[in-house]
A and B are shown apart, each in its own frame.
Chain A
Amino acid sequence: MGWTHRLRSLFRRQAHARDLEEELNFHLAMREQRNREHGLSPQEARRQARLRFGNPTLLRERITELDLILLPQTVWQDLRFGARILLRQWGLTLTAIFALALGIGVSTAAFSAYKAFFARPLDARHPQTMTNLAVILHTGVTTPVFSYPDYVEYRDRLHAFSAIIATSLPQFLPVRTPGGTLVQHDEGAGSLIGRLFPLAGSTNNERALSMFVSENFFSVLGVQAVRGQVFRQQDTRQLATSPAVLISGNYWQRKFDSDPSIVGTRVVLNGASFTIMGVTPRNFVGTFVAAPDFWIPLSLEPLVHPEQNWLTDREKFCCHLRARLAPGVSLHQAQSEMSLLADRLRALHQAQSDWAQPLHAVVWPGSPFPIPPSQNRNIVIALSLVALAVALVLIVACANVASLQLARAHARHNELSMRLSLGASRLRLMRQLLTESALLAVIAGALAFLFSWAFLQWAVTAAANAFPDEYGTFVFHVSPDLSVFTFVLGISLAAGILFGFAPALDSSRSAIAASLRANNFVSLGRHRLRSLLIASQVALSAVLLIAGSLLIHSAIRALNMDTGYDDAHVVDLNLQFPENAGYSADRKTALVHQLTARLAALSGVADVTSARAPDDPDFRDAAVSINSDAPSRTNTKAFLFYTYIEPNYFRTLGIPLLFGHPFADTAEDSAILSESAAKALWPGENPIGKTLRLSTERQFHGPAEPLPDGPSWRVIGVARDTRGVLLDGSDSAQVYLPMPAAAAAQYPILVHTRISPATLIVQIGPLLASVDPALMMRAITLEDMLRSSAPFIASTVSAAIASVTGLLGLLLVTIGIYGTVSYVVVQRTHEVGIRMALGARKANVIALILRDSSRPVLFGLGIGLILAAGAAWLLRHVLYGIDLIDPLSFGGVSVLLIAVALLAAFLPSRRAARVDPMVALRCE
């Protein structure tokens, strides 16, 4: 309303003053003239006019004053005034700034971390022109993994891209370096992540994280070697005759102490010998998020893995593709051109391949993530939950500051009603209050920015240190950038307006009310709003705390849960045969038999068997039919998991058989079901003697491994369920099949030990060397393997996040209740004085205040419990083995919140009880 006018007058202040001057002069002159017409002498006419007009300076001042109240120039005045007010109540101000900084800081940290991790570009020159390539198969699955022959077609035939690069996933390769010898070490021992997620277990060889990259990789990304040379597309022929690799600056520094003579020395990776031709810049991660140790030309892959046939097999999907857009080409154009070529390539694929079916290409901005995180449902859910938790903390912080502001507004009651009666409009008062809130928010925002910046720096260092060196050097850039800063400022301003608005509305309304009434009693509306703010803080904190407590409880359960097998005493031995030495299948089987026999003879070893452990992340599933026909699209009873076992498997792992008997020998067509599998196939029936058929068509399986397709299997037993690695627990439904004798060498060796697994693992190293010194192994207890599985990681990480946000919420609620009750006590000094004069005792007064302040707490808690039940339902997939309405979490948090609220109210209420009735009454 008229704001353009005000804005204009801000810039036309001089002109405005002149206008006013002229207008007043006109008036004076007219009055003078009229006086003369009435017969007064010119002097008298002038004197009378002046007299009547009053003091013109005073008049001008009054009008300027009006301007000062109304014009936007007063924003600066508002700010100065606001700052004075904030300074005067510095205790409350600090509390509010702290609460808000906490809320904003958490949001900023979360946003920055998201940006640093999920929204990071590729580590390339001009990353904005880089793109990721993938295809959507006819099954609807988006796959970013191409075969090498297809890559060559795309690379050479597409014009929409100036270049296309291919990379393999990073992989661990046994390494022998000039200074290095075979060492036995615990991967990542001593680092946090290494302890939490022992991916590697113990090994008897040193391994280096290596990445196969196409020869044009470095020139397309625009990266030079800091020492020596990078390989280029035109070097491909020369590389074939003299194999060479690049070493990362990080590995060079760590392993070779930045030895300047590294270029030209030899390194042996998985048995293949290479010359180190250059060193890449430190922290250069390329298309990945961590710096690997070695970069190997993709064309030399057959040297490292002689049996893999990556370069020639069109059905071996090995490579992620990224491309640089040609100048002036849009993502859409590139996508259409690539789709056309993908369609032509269908003819070259085998008929049963998914790639021979209709498919189309997708091209999107370059990212280290092969598939956009937004397409991964689990990541999206996890991120949404974190975002929700962070948003809740911010809302609690805002509600907190709002309730503090509200309490403060009351203290300023007199000032506000005075200003209102002096002609300031409600809008004007609201603006003053909003200015103060915004000022508060901006200060808090600046503080939060520093806080989150420092926190992220610390977190990045901690995270980098937490990952063992063997996983490569994780590189995150979380230095504050402009967009993060804008984001913080946006949040803090929005928060300022959010929490400034309610008190502004309320206090300007009650200021009017108060100016009409003479006394100063607390108005009902105000009281309700404040209670509402307290209640909402309590409710949201309850949600955060209960979610955190549920997740912690479930993580503890997950750790201690009965897995259904003896995970603490079984060691998983994963053997690796040197790929270049040409071990035949027979020789492998013979070696495994020999090793098994030697292991069984060790003292302390109870049993040895060959099988995949229940918590092996490498699992298989199949379609199952229970009539005599093979499973097909129309004839499938269920999708279950299958695994091959030797007769002593159940004894070795300590899994009890509920019905029937174990396999007698390996030749029979019998199967044993887990309880869940039996329930899925024949609910409520005895499955013993029934038959089933399996089909692995369209399911993943490795090359040359035994498949259960074909004849029917007769059920001879039911075993107790075991816990697998899938979040939904569906892999408890297992079909156990007898292991073909020749296949045992493909599976890990499981050793049940009566002594400590660590002691056993130390003995295994020399034993293995005496069987065959070239064998490599990795040993890990099933317990440790389980800890690195998805459900465990998910519940641990979410428990950590939820408990941190929950504790922040609790802290904020405590501050909020304490601050508000303190102010209520000040407000009610008069009332308390009257009560005490009328004979109320201290205990009565304290009880009164506690009763009044606990009402919104209880109300908020009730709402919070309902919301928390909803949150538990959202979290049901990561909650392990506890009720959704976990009495411990819900009850414990309720008691905690009530106790904290009572304490926060009790301290200021004692002050009320000390009120001297005489002083209170005299205040009037």
Chain B
Amino acid sequence: MKQKKTDTLQGTLDLLVLTTLEQGPLHGWGITLHIERVSDAILRVEEGSLYPALHRMEQEGWITASWGMSENNRRARYYQLTRLGRKQLHAERENWARITGAVAQILAFGVSGT
């Protein structure tokens, strides 16, 4: 049971990160900020999860990293989506749509059933 939860969470984080990077290269801090901002602070990305996830996705070849200058002129590591990453993003998006669709159906059934 525990494994399943990890899987889902991990998958969701991947989806969030990849979607964020779809708009252009960004550093880890920027990704955290973007997700928090766009979700109106409902979703909070844990650093303890984000960096291992970035590292893992880099190893999988979904994203590449390079050093660049941040807005306030500090050296920062920028992540960029690869072709493979784009593919993965599409796959995860579809999967997400399916799952949320299924959940929505069940909820709707629950509503109409009462």
One of B58-66, B94-102, B104-112 contacting the partner:
B58-66
Using an 8 Å CB-CB cutoff, how does the interface string of A51-73 with B read, 1 for contact, 0 for none?
Answer: 01110001100110011001000
Residues of B within 8 A of A24 (CB): 47, 51
Q: Are B29 and A31 in contact (CB under 8 A)?
A: yes
Q: Are A54 and B46 in contact (CB under 8 A)?
A: yes
Q: Are A66 and B60 in contact (CB under 8 A)?
A: no
Q: A59-B48, A63-B51 are in contact. Are A70 and B59 (CB under 8 A)?
A: yes
Q: Are B59 and A66 in contact (CB under 8 A)?
A: yes
Q: A23-B28, A30-B29 are in contact. Are A6 and B59 (CB under 8 A)?
A: yes
Residues of A within 8 A of B48 (CB): 53-54, 58-59, 62
Distance in angstroms between the alpha carbons of A213 and B76 in the assembled complex = 83
The one of B33, B52, B84 in contact with A63, judged by C-beta atoms closer than 8 angstroms, is B52
Q: A19-B77, A63-B51, A66-B56 are in contact. Are A421 and B3 (CB under 8 A)?
A: yes
Is residue A482 within 8 Å, beta carbon to beta carbon, of the partner chain?
no
Q: Are B47 and A52 in contact (CB under 8 A)?
A: yes
Q: What is the minimal beta-carbon distance from A17 to any residue of chain B, in angstroms?
A: 12
Is residue A423 within 8 Å, beta carbon to beta carbon, of the partner chain?
yes
Is residue A29 within 8 Å, beta carbon to beta carbon, of the partner chain?
yes
The one of B29, B32, B59 in contact with A2, judged by C-beta atoms closer than 8 angstroms, is B59
Q: Are A26 and B3 in contact (CB under 8 A)?
A: no
Q: What is the minimal beta-carbon distance from A10 to any residue of chain B, in angstroms?
A: 13
Q: What is the minimal beta-carbon distance from B98 to any residue of chain A, in angstroms?
A: 17
Using an 8 Å CB-CB cutoff, how does the interface string of B1-38 with A read, 1 for contact, 0 for none?
Answer: 00100110010000000000000000111001100000
Number of chain A residues whose Cβ lies closer than 8 Å to a Cβ of chain B: 28
Number of chain B residues whose Cβ lies closer than 8 Å to a Cβ of chain A: 26
The one of B6, B51, B74, B77 in contact with A29, judged by C-beta atoms closer than 8 angstroms, is B74
Distance in angstroms between the alpha carbons of A67 and B56 in the assembled complex = 8
Q: What is the minimal beta-carbon distance from B91 to any residue of chain A, in angstroms?
A: 15
Residues of A within 8 A of B32 (CB): 27
Distance in angstroms between the alpha carbons of A20 and B77 in the assembled complex = 9
Q: Are B27 and A54 in contact (CB under 8 A)?
A: no
Distance in angstroms between the alpha carbons of A5 and B32 in the assembled complex = 25
Q: Are A26 and B75 in contact (CB under 8 A)?
A: yes
The one of B10, B29, B59, B61 in contact with A27, judged by C-beta atoms closer than 8 angstroms, is B29
Residues of B within 8 A of A31 (CB): 29
Is residue A22 within 8 Å, beta carbon to beta carbon, of the partner chain?
yes
Tell me which residues from 412 to 456 in chain A have a Cβ below 8 Å from any Cβ of chain B.
Answer: 421, 423
Q: A6-B59, A63-B52, A66-B56 are in contact. Are A27 and B6 (CB under 8 A)?
A: no
Using an 8 Å CB-CB cutoff, how does the interface string of A815-856 with B read, 1 for contact, 0 for none?
Answer: 000000000000000000000000000000000000000000
Residues of A within 8 A of B56 (CB): 66, 70, 423
Is residue B55 within 8 Å, beta carbon to beta carbon, of the partner chain?
yes
Q: Are B60 and A26 in contact (CB under 8 A)?
A: no
Residues of B within 8 A of A30 (CB): 29, 70
Q: Are B55 and A27 in contact (CB under 8 A)?
A: no
Q: What is the minimal beta-carbon distance from A137 to any residue of chain B, in angstroms?
A: 64
Q: A29-B74, A53-B47 are in contact. Are A66 and B29 (CB under 8 A)?
A: no
Residue of A nearest to B74 (CB): A26
A sample of 8 more A-B contacts (CB under 8 A), given A24-B47, A421-B7, A423-B10, is A5-B61, A22-B75, A26-B29, A26-B76, A59-B48, A63-B52, A66-B56, A423-B56
Could you list which residues of chain A lie within 8 angstroms of chain B, going by C-beta atoms? 1-2, 5-6, 19-20, 22-24, 26-27, 29-31, 34, 52-54, 58-59, 62-63, 66-67, 70, 421, 423, 515
Could you list which residues of chain B lie within 8 angstroms of chain A, going by C-beta atoms? 3, 6-7, 10, 27-29, 32-33, 46-48, 51-52, 55-56, 58-61, 70, 74-77, 84
A-B contact pairs, 27 of them (CB 8 A): A1-B60, A1-B84, A2-B60, A2-B61, A19-B77, A22-B75, A22-B77, A23-B77, A26-B28, A26-B75, A26-B77, A27-B32, A30-B29, A30-B70, A52-B47, A54-B48, A62-B52, A63-B55, A66-B52, A66-B55, A66-B56, A67-B55, A70-B56, A70-B59, A421-B3, A421-B6, A421-B7
